[in-house]
Amino acid sequence: MRILVIGRGGREHAIVWALKRHDRDNTRRIYCAPGNAGIAQLAETVDIGELEFDRLVEFAREKAIDLVVVGPDDPLAAGIVDALEAGGLRVYGPRRNAAEIEGSKIFMKNLLHKHGIPTAKYETFTDYESAKAYLDAQPVPIVIKADGLAAGKGVTVCFNREEADAALRETMLSKAFGAAGDKVVIEEFLEGQEMSILAFVDGETVRPMPAAQDHKPVYDGDKGPNTGGMGTYSPLPHIPPSIIDVAIETIVRPTARALVAEGRPFRGVLFAGLMITKDGPKTIEFNARFGDPETQVVLPRLQTDLLDIFLASLDGRLNDIEISWSDEAAVCVILASGGYPGAYPKGLPIEGLESVADQDALVFHAGTALKEGRFVTNGGRVLGVVGRGRGIAEARDRAYAAADRIRFEGKINRTDIAAKALV
Ligand code: AMP
Ligand code: GLY
């Protein structure tokens, strides 16, 4: 079996790890384009970017790749699955028309609205003047979102008028998020606890994974600007299973059905970002891929071979296979570069990685490279350290104990990951 994983972050490291874990007789040959220094310990990394579709097709055909797995959002939104399929390859991931559920927030909101799926009230705008007039008439807090992809940073939650005015100007006029901000969604602020539900989806078939919770703001106590995600944990012991079921039945399954009804059947991982409000779960966002860093806590709990799930999905058998999960808890603490989510240095030596053994914690590399045989920082999010244990408290202690042993200049991490689950 020859597998090509596309991407370069912690999510892709976790996917490669999960695929390797069940490779008992060593018959899987895994490539990763472009990968990172951690992934290179498990797979052969290939110097081709995620958006170089022609080169990816050429490489995959030359190596007789049996399965391509796509990690990140940008290539999905740009139609990588369509391009690779046109090149005769088997690909796990949604085609462009289904990936639009993440690529355009306006498409997503309109789809949910049309199909009566719970989400925050909203209006969409293409010109600044009408957006500003609407904004002035709304209560605060209020949320302003760039329509397109912006590396997880195109959303501003505004607690007062000044913040709201500034966010609208930056998104629409200063183009802080580039063309992603040509159109905006202005939406009602939802109050409550957030949770992420990822599911393996094939058309109307939905096989949910255990719920997880991310921590988007960069500082403790959910302060500071939003990031791609500073840490996650799973399961969510403080959230009643009945609420998770309601979210699956009223949001995830209906959305998969709605995409089929619109002629855009989804195959891949559908990721619902939800707010548990006093009126029940409501949709904040949909992603068309595994979450990062949700994947780092969900896949270590997967007992079934991930490859079997991918292949079953491609063969139309996703409904028929057994998928089992371990009861253990997992907590992921992200170690990031000083300055992230703003500008940060690269190329700083990372010390202490060898002091963390797999039984202490799993270390998934996000932004790392090798320089003269040493691991160095190479991104905003550098490493994801995942502790596992009988409950969140034990998993969390293990994650932080390992995280503390890893050092690089300017290292930042939140110290309150999973704290909400312990009160
Ligand atoms: P997104 O990139 O859409 O996931 O948004 C980033 C973060 O902004 C989310 O994880 C939430 O914490 C917050 N957020 C987005 N939309 C809302 C909303 N309508 N109400 C409250 N918080 C929101
Ligand atoms: N952790 C959030 C995301 O992957 O978008």
**Do 51 and 147 fall within a single domain?**
no
Residue with tokens 């302003």: 144
Count of domains observed in the chain = 4
* Residue 232 CA to its chain's centroid (Å): 11
Instruction: CATH number of the domain at 347, please.
Output: 3.90.600.10
- The bound ligand whose nearest atom lies closest to the alpha carbon of 146 is 1
Return the pLDDT at 172.
83
Give yes or no for residue 189 CB within 6 A of ligand 1: yes
Query: Relative to the CA of 273, which ligand 2 atom is closest?
Result: 2
Give yes or no for residue 228 CB within 6 A of ligand 1: no
β partners of residue 205: 202
**Does residue 80 form part of some domain?**
yes
Return the pLDDT at 37.
98
* Residue 407 CA to its chain's centroid (Å): 25
Instruction: CATH number of the domain at 149, please.
Output: 3.30.1490.20
pLDDT bin (cut points 50, 70, 90) of residue 64 is very high
Q: Check whether 419 has a pLDDT greater than 90.
A: yes
Q: How far is the CA of 88 from the centre of ligand 1 (A)?
A: 38
Q: Check whether 360 has a pLDDT greater than 90.
A: no
Q: Check whether 220 has a pLDDT greater than 90.
A: yes
| Range scoring the smallest mean pLDDT among 95-109, 260-274, 325-339, 381-395 | 95-109
**Do 181 and 204 fall within a single domain?**
no
- The bound ligand whose nearest atom lies closest to the alpha carbon of 148 is 1
**Does residue 106 form part of some domain?**
no
CB 220 within 8 A of CB 157: no
**Does residue 319 form part of some domain?**
no
Number of H helices, E strands in the chain: 13, 22
**Do 306 and 224 fall within a single domain?**
yes
**Does residue 112 form part of some domain?**
no
Domain span holding position 164: 121-188
**Does residue 221 form part of some domain?**
yes
Instruction: CATH number of the domain at 85, please.
Output: 3.40.50.20
**Does residue 322 form part of some domain?**
no
Domain boundary among 136, 154, 188: 188
Residue nearest to atom 5 of ligand 2 (CA): 291
**Do 354 and 291 fall within a single domain?**
no
**Do 236 and 155 fall within a single domain?**
no
**Does residue 321 form part of some domain?**
no
What is the C-alpha to C-alpha distance for residues 130 and 136, in angstroms, rounded to an integer? 10
Residue of 101, 108, 143 with the most ligand 1 atoms within 8 Å of its CB, for mutation:
143
pLDDT bin (cut points 50, 70, 90) of residue 150 is confident
**Do 204 and 285 fall within a single domain?**
yes
pLDDT digits over 275-317, tens only?
A: 999 999 999 999 999 999 999 999 999 999 999 999 999 999 9
Give yes or no for residue 214 CB within 6 A of ligand 2: yes
Give yes or no for residue 152 CB within 6 A of ligand 2: yes
Query: Relative to the CA of 289, which ligand 2 atom is closest?
Result: 4
pLDDT bin (cut points 50, 70, 90) of residue 27 is very high
Q: Check whether 152 has a pLDDT greater than 70.
A: no
**Does residue 105 form part of some domain?**
no
pLDDT digits over 87-141, tens only?
A: 999 999 999 999 999 988 889 999 999 999 999 998 889 988 889 889 989 999 9
